[in-house]
A and B are shown apart, each in its own frame.
Chain A
Amino acid sequence: MRTPRWGFMAALLTGLLLGPAAGAREPTVHRITVYVHSGMSLYLSEARTLGGVGGGLGVRDTLDERFILQADASYLMALGKVVEVRAGAGLQRSGTWTPAALVMLSCMAGQGMRFLTPTRSTPVEGPALTVGLQLAPLRFTHSGTQLSLFELGVGVGSDWPGRGLTWHLTLLQAGTTF
């Protein structure tokens, strides 16, 4: 009777002491997802309006089903032809319903409406850079497939002197996880 009790106690103690340490040493699980997306982005400042509707490709690394690192590129049309490259990091919920929130950096370059005003007599040049927040409330993950609807984002940047705002709407994003 004594030997088994002592054996159980020793095993439990060992597990309690060594369990967490052993878990922390486990390698981070990366799940790479390649996705396509469509929607619209608009950058508005006193110096220019860029953006349009379109779509593109992206890649996402989901770490331990919790943390997200992603980057994507889009080709947008309407107010000229624009390429938008975005990179973001954020958190998601685990499970099938996986809503997410990300901090996004955006770089938009190409044609657009430009404005000259009494305070700005030369056109602004270069890409529009913004940093902002993106929310993906309707995002689902199941059997290696990710689907997201109606992601909303807002960002702020600078067309000095002045402020720029980016509005982003992803209508549909679909990805395959490897």
Chain B
Amino acid sequence: MRKTLAAAGLLLACACAPTSSRFSEEQLARLSTLAGQVETGQLMGHVRALTRSHQEDTPLSCTPVQREQYAPACFMTRDRARDLMKSRLEAVGLQVRTQEGQRGALTFTNLIADLPGTTRPEEIVLVGAHFDAHYMGADDNSTGVAGVLELARVLSQYRFERTLRFVGFDLEEPGMLGSGHYVDALGQEKLAGVIIFDCIGYYDTRPGSQKSLPGLPAPDTGDFLAIMGNDHSLGLATDLHQLNDTLQLMKLVSIIAPGDGTSTVSVSESLMRSDHAAFWYGGHKALFLTDTADFRNPHYHQATDVIDTLDPESFRRAVQISAVGLATWAGGPR
């Protein structure tokens, strides 16, 4: 019933809002229905299970020097969260393969699950999130993993022209090891679009709750979803904004870095703090969706990053806008 009401609400918003010529009425109606299937209960259930898995896991070993330099490094877990992500992807009927890698003393294992495309399966639309976390990691990054899992559940009910790929990246926190390895191993695979989730569940409507950097005109209130792109992925960001204009899902603010976005200027560096950076270095079209982490969330990399600090409704809307974007780029839904 709630799903039907949500879909009806979205359809109404779609009908009332001005439509963009980029998307047909029929396509928007299908996308509205699809977005309406994203459920808060599912998302928060995943976050609850993931945070518990981090809490019960054994942290990776760390040295006294690491503890002194950055204490959260000694509270990083990933194994149980990876197992949970794998089992939940399989539970929606997807086959999951693993990709192993090693850098120095650190070994890592990415998870990859495909929903094969019908007419252009060689072209891939990817959504990914890292499953390693400091402490319980509710926002960072159980919300991102939960978003991927919910998208896998919703999108796997449809068929798309292109292949939809759901990825769990290992060891983002120590330096994007999993995503870097993944991009290096891509070979001839063609990525039509990439969304990376990292911290998508913390929102705050109070004035002054959002921090920014000089030259970046962020709102004063932390009630928006930020999209980081580069010149290559500007079209994807524009699509999300135009779809959002029509579907009226949530407040979006996009920051598009010049060129491939990999400038070493400090402002640009601050836009490269997650797994999308590996895709930018590889020249791929990738967007990073985030609540801006420590620019807003005081619990970032703290033991207080727990599920009660999240905003479930805004979290759901962030996943909804991602769902319609991914579905559009994948050539669907059918």
Contact = CB atoms under 8 A, between A and B. Distances in A.
B263 A116 contact: no
Contacts of A49: 215-216
Interface string A120-160: 01110000000000000000000000000000000000000
Interface stretch (A23-31, A56-64, A91-99, A107-115): A107-115
B257 interface: yes
Interface stretch (B108-116, B135-143, B231-239): B231-239
Contact of A113 (B238, B242, B252, B257): B257
B235 to A, nearest CB: 10
A114 B231 CA distance: 9
Contact of A80 (B216, B238, B254, B258): B258
Q: Which of B237, B256, B259 has the most chain A CB within a 10 Å cutoff?
A: B256
A112 B258 contact: yes
Given A46-B217, A121-B244, A115 B263 contact: no
Interface string B317-332: 0000000000000000
B267 A113 contact: yes
Nearest to B246: A121
B216 A113 contact: yes
B265 A116 contact: no
Given A121-B244, A121-B245, A122-B241, A115 B234 contact: no
A80 B244 CA distance: 28
Given A44-B215, A115-B217, A116-B254, A79 B263 contact: yes
A14 B224 CA distance: 81
A115 B253 contact: yes
B3 interface: no
Interface of B, secondary structure class, is mixed
B40 to A, nearest CB: 23
A118 B263 CA distance: 27
A11 interface: no
B19 interface: no
A111 B259 contact: yes
Nearest to A80: B258
Interface in A69-89: 78-81
A113 B255 contact: yes
B227 interface: yes
A112 to B, nearest CB: 6
B259 A113 contact: no
Nearest to B231: A111
Q: Which of A46, A113, A122, A123 has the most chain B CB within a 10 Å cutoff?
A: A113
A114 B216 CA distance: 9
A114 B259 CA distance: 11
Contact of A79 (B245, B252, B268): B268
B267 A114 contact: no
Contact of B252 (A42, A44, A46, A118): A118
A114 to B, nearest CB: 4
A122 B238 contact: yes
A42 to B, nearest CB: 8
B227 to A, nearest CB: 7
B241 A121 contact: yes
B67 interface: no
A117 interface: yes
Contacts of A122: 238, 241-242
A10 to B, nearest CB: 72
Contact of B253 (A81, A116, A123): A116
Interface of B: 215-217, 224, 227, 231, 234, 237-238, 241-242, 244-245, 251-259, 263, 265, 267-268
Interface of A: 42, 44, 46, 49, 78-81, 111-118, 121-123
Given A81-B258, A113-B268, A116-B256, 18 more contacts: A44-B215, A78-B263, A79-B258, A79-B263, A79-B265, A113-B255, A114-B255, A115-B217, A115-B254, A115-B256, A116-B237, A116-B238, A116-B252, A116-B254, A118-B253, A121-B241, A122-B242, A123-B256
